[in-house]
Amino acid sequence: MTTESGDRTEKLLALLLLQTMKGSTAAEKAAQLSIAGFTAVEIADMLNTTAAVIRQLLYTARKSKRRKSK
């Protein structure tokens, strides 16, 4: 697979994930895109925000998940 087709596949994956998550919070969207392998910068571009905001959302999600499992 060439880089160009790989980029296109990634964009389609992101589009599908975002489409299925309509009505979800930015934190939920960021978490799913992160699980799918996208970086904070890529997620920020998709959600029209900054990478720092995405990193904070992901950190908070991981932190709250740890609390629930205790």
pLDDT at 18: 85
pLDDT at 9: 86
Number of domains observed in the structure of the chain: 1
Enumerate long-range contacts of 27-30, CB under 8 Å, 24 or more apart.
Answer: 27/57, 27/60, 27/61, 30/54, 30/57, 30/58, 30/61
Going 32 to 38 to 41 to 46, the CA torsion angle's sign is negative
First-residue to last-residue Cα distance in the chain = 43
Where the chain has pLDDT below 50, the residues are none
Cβ partners under 8 Å of residue 22, min gap 6: none
pLDDT at 4: 75
pLDDT at 70: 62
pLDDT at 2: 61
Boundaries of domain holding 12: 3-69
